[in-house]
Amino acid sequence: MSFQEEFLWGSASAAYQIEGAANLDGKGDSIWDVYSRVPGNTFKNTTGEVAIDFYHRFEEDVALMKEMGLQAYRFSVSWPRIMADGRTVNRQGVEFYHKVIDTLIANGITPILTIYHWDLPQALQDEYQGWESRDIIDDFTRYCEVLFEEYGDKIPYWVSLNEQNIFTSLGYLQAIHPPKVSDFQRFVNANHIANLANASAVKKFREMGIEAKIGASFAYSPAYAQSAKPEDVIAAEDAQELQDLFWMDVYAKGRYPKIALKRLETLNIHIDFQPGDKELLAAGVCDFMGLNYYQSATFVAAENKQKTAQTGNASQVSVVSEISDIPTDKLFARADNEYLEMTDWNWAVDPNGLRVALRRITSRYELPILISENGLGAFDTLTEEGKVHDDYRIDFLRRHVEAISEAIDDGCEVIGYCTWSCQDLFSWLNGYAKRYGFIYVDRDEESAKELKRYKKDSFYWYQKVIETNGEQL
């Protein structure tokens, strides 16, 4: 029996991907509102302007969550809904999240609040270039302070930054997220500032004596060496240092990993440490590690790079980065893993990788882990009878839940499991074609239609899993 009584069976979402109501009730533009309006930036120019209209339909959605038996719902707060200009509190925005949280609680669902899931107020991007300026540290901390004051006694688990590794690397290196920059040094600079902001938020949380837990969610694709060739093993170790520990060490230990720093130096990349930075990072250690797991990542030494290597979003139904020649290309290259199948979007399906991720976090940090995202993005078909037979999703999730159970037996402490996602939602670079939910939302890139909700087969499967606390998979 692996899952403890208090284990939380949940699901996750993010404000921009579900809410819609982009400019209602005093909400300001986020960088994603502005970015997705520019033709060519997103798949078929889709936006989150309407998304799945959670803003108006959250009661209906929470009722479905309750029916499914969901025990936790992770959602994010939109900073520009709380503060249109990034600083001035908008009471209507604050009240909206009070209503969502209260509705969840009234239905027996534990709210897990993500503070930042990528929708920075555009005003702060315009004023000082967002994450590239240290001015953001104070603004972000003030925003967090408002959330802690308002919701501090209602939320047991707080996620500070969602996937800092993704929003900095896609935004400042691969140029496929706002602000669409490709510059390794700027990426490292923005990331350092994000680390300081994250630490400052955690510090504020402690100072305010909030009786809850806080952690960041990290998109972790554990690194494998493609072969036992020692140079491939070193390449995978380098990838682990620079793509994983470079963030997780900061969250868990309050400092950068030593080898990663040295490797960056050899690439002539430097972190702009100012007086007080080290102390601030040390004061920002998290209570738990938030783990977003989708796939493992396989590497070879740069000189063994294969032309055929598949990476992330390689399908034609998404926006793909065309940037090449980044400094770390000298150290390692992504490679195929012949043992793994791929999803329709070329993501490696690897349940064991989740076990590896949980074990590596446990051995290095001994922290409890909240699995804050895991799921399968797939094409779904709505039948004429209003059914979605997503046995492929059930199979994917079942194998991942088994892997969690094995990891728990290995000694990992897992707080809960939030699948991505509960309802179908807007995918940043894949429009509405790539679906993740237990609940089908009838809309597509061309039209929001009526946004009608349908329960997929996986809805009933997860209901059983929750009911039996993971006994019946």
Q: Of 444, 436, 435, 434, which Cα lies nearest the Cα of 418?
A: 436
Which listed residue (219, 260, 357, 401) binds ligand BGP by CB under 6 A? 219
Cβ proximity to ligand BGP: between 328 and 427 the closer is 427
Q: Are 235 and 331 in contact (CB under 8 A)?
A: yes
Catalytic residue among 373, 384, 445, 467: 373
Q: Are 321 and 249 in contact (CB under 8 A)?
A: no
State in angstroms the smallest separation of the CB of 42 from ligand BGP.
11
Residues 279-308 that bind ligand BGP (CB under 6 A): 292
Q: Decide if 60 is catalytic.
A: no
Tokens of 92: 């209507």
Beta strands in 154-282 (DSSP E): 157-162, 213-219, 223-225
Tokens of 129: 């270039």
3-state secondary structure of 122: helix
How far lies 15's CA from each of 30, 178, 202, 372, 439, in Å?
A: 11, 16, 21, 15, 17
Which listed residue (166, 181, 267, 326) binds ligand BGP by CB under 6 A? 166
Cβ proximity to ligand BGP: between 300 and 370 the closer is 370
Tokens 């900095």 locate to: 168
Q: Of 419, 413, 417, which Cα lies nearest the Cα of 437?
A: 419
State in angstroms the smallest separation of the CB of 81 from ligand BGP.
17
Q: How many residues of this chain interact with ligand BGP, rule: CB under 6 A?
A: 15
Please report whether residue 430 would count as binding ligand BGP according to CB under 6 A.
Answer: yes
Q: List beta partners, residue 440.
A: 454
Tokens of 318: 């998404």
Residues 345-404 that bind ligand BGP (CB under 6 A): 373, 377
Which listed residue (213, 355, 434, 453) binds ligand BGP by CB under 6 A? 434
Amino acid, res. 229: K
Classify residue 339 by burial, with Cβ atoms within 10 Å: 0-12, 13-18, 19+: exposed
Using CB under 6 A as the criterion, what x/- string covers residues 408-427 for binding ligand BGP?
------------x------x
State in angstroms the smallest separation of the CB of 434 from ligand BGP.
5
Q: Which residue is nearest to ligand BGP (CB)?
A: 427
Cβ proximity to ligand BGP: between 3 and 294 the closer is 294
Catalytic residue among 19, 132, 150, 163: 163
State in angstroms the smallest separation of the CB of 146 from ligand BGP.
23
Residues 93-152 that bind ligand BGP (CB under 6 A): none
State in angstroms the smallest separation of the CB of 272 from ligand BGP.
27
Q: List beta partners, residue 111.
A: 73
State in angstroms the smallest separation of the CB of 281 from ligand BGP.
23
Tokens of 164: 């800092």
Which listed residue (116, 428, 432, 440) binds ligand BGP by CB under 6 A? 428
Cβ proximity to ligand BGP: between 103 and 165 the closer is 165
How far lies 60's CA from each of 11, 56, 108, 425, 447, in Å?
A: 16, 9, 15, 15, 21
Which listed residue (163, 237, 380, 424) binds ligand BGP by CB under 6 A? 163
Count of Cβ atoms closer than 10 Å to residue 266 Cβ:
10
Query: Residue 66 — φ and ψ, nearest 5°?
Result: -65, -45
The C-alpha angle 280, 255, 362, rounded to 5 degrees, equals 125
Q: Are 2 and 408 in contact (CB under 8 A)?
A: yes
The region of 151-159, 173-181, 195-203, 428-436 touching ligand BGP under the rule CB under 6 A is 428-436
State in angstroms the smallest separation of the CB of 318 from ligand BGP.
7
Cβ proximity to ligand BGP: between 27 and 434 the closer is 434
**Helix H or strand E encompassing 300:** strand 297-301
Distance of CA 310 to the CA centre of its chain: 22
Q: Decide if 322 is catalytic.
A: no
Binding stretches for ligand BGP (CB under 6 A):
14, 17, 162-163, 166, 219, 292, 373, 377, 420, 427-430, 434
Q: Which residues are catalytic?
A: 163, 373
